[in-house]
Amino acid sequence: MGRELQQQVSLTVEQLVAVNPYNPDILNDLEDFVKEQVSSVTYNLEANLCLLRLYQFEPEKMKTEFVAYILLKALMAMPAPDFSLCLFLIPERVQMEAQFKTLTVLSHYLETARFGQFWEEATKSRHILETVPGFEQAIQNYIVHVLSLTYQKVSRPVLSEAINLNGPSLDKFLEHQVSNNGWIVDKSQSTGELIILPSSQFNHPELKRNSDETVPLEHLTRIFPILS
C-alpha cells in the first residue's frame, strides 16, 4: 500500500530538479530524461545543466553519450546561447574528443551564420545528427530567425543556400511559410523571385519605440524639494 502510494506521488524529473538540484542520486533519472527529451522532441535546459553539473562534480560518472545528446539539443535551441552554457561545464579534455570537436565546429558555423559550411559539415556528420529527431528542422528554424532579423526581402538563391533546400522541397517549404507565417513570394521581379519576410522591429528597426527620452521618476524626485 505504502509502496503503491509512493508510485503515485513519484515526482517528475522537473520536480526532482526543483526540489533538490544538488542531489547526486538523481543522476540516472536525469540521464533517462535526456533520452526522453531526444525521443519526444522536447527540451529542458535546466535539467540538462543539472546533469552536466553532477558530471562536473563526479567526473568518474560521466557518460559522454549523454553529453553529446545535451549538446545536440543545445544546438537546436539556438539562438539561445545554450551550447556555450553547456561547454562552460564540460572539462576541456572531454571537449577534445572527436565527436565534440565536430559539434563545436557546427556551433561555430551557426554562430557566425556560415550556413553553407554548416550544411556541408552536417552532411559529413550525419551519423551523429540523425540520432536526434527534429534536428534539421530546429536548425532551419534558427536560420530563418537570423534571416528574419536581417532581411526585409531576400532572394530565392540566398534563402535556398541558407536553409539547404531547393527545387520542389523549397517550394513546399515556402508554401508552408506563406500560409502559416505570413511570408510573401514576390514573382514580379525581373531579377528573380524575392521572398518578403514578415516585418518585425528587428528587420524594421524604425518600428522600435524610442523610449530613451524618458526620465525615470527616481531621478525626478531629486528636484522635487527645489520645485516646491
- Specify burial of residue 94 (Cβ count, 10 A radius: 0-12, 13-18, 19+): middle
Q: Which stretch binds another protein (CB under 8 A): 1-9, 66-74, 121-129, 150-158?
A: 150-158
Residues 63, 65, 69, 71: is their CA dihedral positive or negative? positive
- The interface mask with another protein, positions 7-26, x = CB under 8 A, is -------------xxxxx--
CA distance 76 to 151: 22
- The interface mask with another protein, positions 30-59, x = CB under 8 A, is ---------------xx--xx--x--xxxx
User: Least separation, in Å, of the C-beta of 130 and another protein?
Assistant: 26
Q: Which single residue is written with the C-alpha cell 559550411?
A: 117
Q: Which stretch binds another protein (CB under 8 A): 5-13, 63-71, 127-135, 205-213?
A: 205-213
Residue 216: strand, helix, or coil? coil
Task: Kindly give, in sequence order, each residue whose CB lies less than 8 Å from that of residue 153, ignoring residues fewer than 6 positions away.
Answer: 186, 194, 195, 196, 197
- The interface mask with another protein, positions 66-95, x = CB under 8 A, is -------------xxx--xx-xxx-xx---
Q: How many residues make contact with another protein (CB under 8 A)?
A: 60
Q: How far is CA 148 from CA 83, 144, 197, 209, in A?
A: 22, 6, 6, 19
CA distance 133 to 157: 27
When asked if residue 165 is in the footprint of another protein (CB under 8 A), the reply is: no
By beta-carbon proximity to another protein, the closer residue of 63 and 208 is 208
Give residues in contact with another protein (CB under 8 A). Answer: 20-24, 45-46, 49-50, 53, 56-59, 79-81, 84-85, 87-89, 91-92, 108, 111-116, 146-147, 149-155, 158, 191, 194, 201-206, 208, 210, 212-215, 219-220, 222-223, 226
